[in-house]
Amino acid sequence: MTEEDNLVRSWHRFFNKKNPIDDKDVMESDQWAAVKIRRLLHDQLVTSSENNGVIDDPQQAWEIILKLIEASQSREALTAVAAGPLRQLMDAYFDDYIERVKEEAENNQGLSYALSYVFIHDKMHLEQLLQLGNRAAMLDFPNRDPTSEEVEMDLLVARWFCFYRGHSEIDSNLIACALDEVNYQLPNRDPHKSWLVILKLLAACTSKDEAKQIGYVISELLSVAYSEFIGKIKRAVRDDNRLACALTNTSVADEYSAEWSEVVALAIQISAGPWTDGRT
């Protein structure tokens, strides 16, 4: 393992802490990596004393950022890169690196996802970065277990319906956690997975009323990833009366209202017929 590989692994271990108390020893042993990478660039979000020792090496910072993205094991890890070194680089050297970032983001889904979470103070620069971002990016992490993810989504769907179907035998805390995860957390953290859960919810719903409850989830998804999903929804609604029913109970930001009103009008037309057991 090279010194740089060790640096990247230690940085990720430091920011992957699950419990600050239980992981205290691990955090302290890896803190050097967090400090070293932060000191590659000045950071206007920390005190002047914390910027002591900064070497201002944007090229090395850019190379480390790409390695951090490549080594990320989760979306949370990518957001940590966005909040740390990627933010620092674009805050201080936007003009020097924006073209490289644009070029890299075309084929680097991890970077594109991170850009959807980055925040810098210059509003014009921030807008350019967010346009490069894709919060709904399909990401394949080395430790991903598709079977486990499928089971997890099915469990979320089952517990979500327990709330609307009044299944009192299920622990209310589990149901509440599933509602929060499906309705709010997933649309914001992982829009792609949220869409897959929405499709599972639609497949499992048994009435128009249940389908309309799914409309709230779709609204939340569109609030963070409208441009990524509007095309999919337009194509899918024509042959899916369950999706059409859900869309009649949705809302979007004012800037999309004109386009969305056309989608809803079509959905109302498609959903006007009787409820069927199939998806059409």
Q: How far is CA 228 from the centre of its chain?
A: 12
- For residue 71, give both structure tokens: 């080594």
Q: Per the structure block, which two tokens stand in for 280?
A: 């059409």
Q: How far is CA 37 from the centre of its chain?
A: 24
Dihedral of CA 270/274/275/280: which sign?
negative
Is residue 57 scored above 90 in pLDDT? yes
Is residue 202 within 8 Å of 211, Cβ to Cβ? Answer: yes
- Dihedral angle sign, alpha carbons of residues 156, 158, 162, 165: positive
| pTM of the model as a whole | 0.80
* Residue 119 amino acid letter: F
Please give the DSSP secondary-structure letter assigned to residue 41.
S
Give 234's pLDDT tier (boundaries 50, 70, 90): very high
Q: Is the pLDDT of residue 21 over 60?
A: no
* Residue 185 contacts residue 214 (beta carbons within 8 Å): no
Instruction: For residue range 177-223, list pLDDT tens digits in order.
Output: 999 999 999 999 999 999 999 999 999 999 999 999 999 999 999 99
**Amino acid letter for position 61:** A
Helix (H, G, I), strand (E, B) or coil at 1: coil
| Structure token pair of residue 25 | 């020893």
Residue-level pLDDT at 277? 59
CA dihedral (112, 113, 117, 123) in degrees, to 10, reads: 20
pLDDT value for 143: 78
Q: What is residue 252's three-state secondary structure? A: coil
Predicted confidence (pLDDT) per residue in 110-122, tens digit: 999 999 999 999 9
How far apart (Å, rounded) are the C-alpha atoms in residues 179 and 133? 27
pLDDT in tens, 122-157: 999 999 999 999 998 989 888 788 899 999 999 999
What's the mean per-residue pLDDT of the chain? 91
